Amino acid sequence: MKEEFLDRKLQERTAAGALRVLRIADNRADYYSNDYLGISRNGLIEASHPNTQFAHGSTGSRLLAGNYPMIEETEKEIATFHDAEAALIFNSGYDANFGLLSCVAGKGDMILYDKLSHASLRDGIRQSFADSLSFAHNDLGDLEKKLKNKKGNCFVVTESVFSMDGDMAPLAEMVSLCRQFKVHLIVDEAHATGFIGERGAGLVHDLGFQNECFARIHTFGKALGCHGAVILGSQTLRNYLINFCRPFIYSTAIPPVSVAAIKASYKIFPALNRERDQIRHLISLFGCDGFKKSVTPIQCFVIPGNDNVKRISRQLLENNLDVRPILYPTVPLGEERLRITLHSYNTVEETEKLISILTSGSVMVDG
């Protein structure tokens, strides 16, 4: 079979030092997974319902064979926990974001989104018939300027904790702009879920803005140690998504085995205060030169150049510290970085060692 056209693209990637390859993790210190609270690593979900079996197949889409009592019950529990009117579970955060953004705005409407929004949000926006414009990252002035030219039904999209930088959106100010311009706010809480707020309910809930948001997206694959996601909003939004959101309509529903895990995680993570405290303690060790400012479990050390950042990641591996390099084109050129994720099971000693290696000048950066 002739596949030169694929090879050519792969060779271009290789030449740019940006070829993506899959790796199996070993037992080096984990500074790369999103299992912030250790729920997956420590088997907390399995321990919470031993000897219980749930079906691995949901046997159809939610609108056909794939709806069942436990999924609706779990949606109600999740909505109550986050103080939302309604909840709709999706197979993944990617599906939830893509589905929501692609169907909620139509021709003549507008979507304004933070420039650093996750690919799943941007892909959904690209699929939408609405006009779209990005605003500079966390830049309220730029957002306001663009809001002045809003048209139709207008949506503002942001993440509460940014996945690649670990910084937070200025939500209070954004809420007030959205109120002033009468536009809808959509917040992706993927990396805030489980960590931000007294019981990990997210930044929107922590600040009391539940009723100011048109939609919130919480994912289960990160701090919750499971898989899947939920969109929170009004009952009307839920009904709309059931009718118009294509990844929801045309995909086999998430199976009972996964929903049972999500349900269990919601019984576990709100009480993991010791784990959240340990992460906060680790965060307090950062803040020195070279790291981006962040008060979340995502810390970044920018090392421009794909080859440079990959080499330093390898140097850390030799020191038993597994930190993954984030390469261009996932982040803008010159913004390549080590993305360090902190967990309740990382120790102070290994974290200090990591910081010391990166800041002592013992790592070799070309150019």
Q: Which residues are catalytic?
A: 34, 118, 159, 163, 188, 191, 222
Q: Please give the size of the binding site for ligand PLP, defined by CB under 6 A.
A: 14
Query: Measured between alpha carbons, how far apart are the two ends of the chain, in Å?
Result: 42
**Which residues contact residue 200 at a Cβ distance below 8 angstroms, ignoring those fewer than 6 apart?**
37, 193, 194, 223, 269, 270, 272, 276
CA distance 126 to 234: 24
337 binds ligand PLP (CB under 6 A): no
243 burial via Cβ count (<10 Å: 0-12, 13-18, 19+): exposed
Q: Which C-beta is closer to ligand PLP: that of 230 or that of 272?
A: 230
Binding of ligand PLP by 229 (CB under 6 A): yes
Strands 215-219 and 229-233: antiparallel
Binder of ligand PLP out of 40, 158, 219, 346 (CB under 6 A):
219
247 is a contact residue toward ligand PLP (CB under 6 A) = no
- Binding pattern for the stretch 174-213 against ligand PLP, x by CB under 6 A and - elsewhere: --------------x-xx----------------------
Of 110-169, binders to ligand PLP (CB under 6 A) are: 118, 120, 159, 163
* b/e code 289-324 from CB counts within 10 Å (16+ = b): eebbebbbbbbbbbbebbbbbbbbbeebeeeebbbb
Q: Residue 185 CB, nearest distance to ligand PLP (Å)?
A: 16
Site string for ligand PLP, 57-96 (x = CB under 6 A): -----------------------------------xxx--
d(CA 343, CA 32): 9
Q: Which is nearer to ligand PLP, 120 or 134 (CB)?
A: 120
337-341 and 324-326: which strand pairing?
antiparallel
Task: Check binding of 344 to ligand PLP (CB under 6 A).
Answer: no
Q: Which of 40, 58, 74, 97 binds ligand PLP (CB under 6 A)?
A: 97
